[in-house]
Amino acid sequence: MNTDKLIAAYVKIRDAKNEVKREYDDKIAALQEQLDTIEAALLGLVEQTGVDSMKTKSGTAYRSVKTRYWAPDWASFKDFIEEHGSLDLLEQRIHQGNFKTFLEENPDVKPPVNVDSRYTIVVRRGNK
């Protein structure tokens, strides 16, 4: 098969995929905005009426508390974790870029991790 045709087809399909994703993202954003407006109205109703839930023929809405935590100062949070020995406060995933750098700087260290390396193809658009 002709390499130029393969690359041209790849770029065309990738562009079409990106356009579909952009349209999808725009539609999802519009729907989310509508849901946020309705949610705010329902929160206002439960506050006005002093109830935690409202049951109707269409369904039940109830108020719940959603709590989220984040560290605005990672250096301080790292010190906190070390001080309390609480590594379980972190999610279990490896920072790919930092780990790659660590391995390059420490070639004799054999950490207990799995590695998956494979070739991929990167396609860049040509000049028009």
Residue 79 lies in a domain: yes
Q: Which residue has the higher pLDDT, 70 or 1?
A: 70
- What pLDDT, on a 0 to 100 scale, did the predictor assign at position 113? 94
pLDDT one-digit tens code per residue, 74-115: 999 999 999 999 999 999 899 999 999 999 999 999 999 999
Q: Is residue 120 part of a domain?
A: no
Are 83 and 89 within 8 A, CB to CB? Answer: no
Residues 6+ apart with CB under 8 A from 77: 71
| 124 within domain boundaries | no
Question: How many independent structural domains does the chain possess?
Answer: 1
* Residue 51, number of CB atoms within 10 A of its CB: 13
Q: In this structure, is residue 74 part of a structural domain?
A: yes
Token pair for 117: 């390396």
The token pair that represents 6 in the structure block = 């393969």
How large is the average pLDDT for residues 11-17?
97
Domain around 46? 3-54+64-105
* Domain-embedded: residue 118: no
Residue 110 falls inside a structural domain: no
In a domain, 34, yes or no: yes
Q: Is residue 38 part of a domain?
A: yes
Whether the Cβ atoms of residue 52 and residue 63 lie closer than 8 Å to each other: yes
Q: What is the pLDDT of residues 27-42, one digit of tens each?
A: 999 999 999 999 999 9
Angle of CA points 89, 83, 109, to nearest 5°: 75
3-state secondary structure of 34: helix
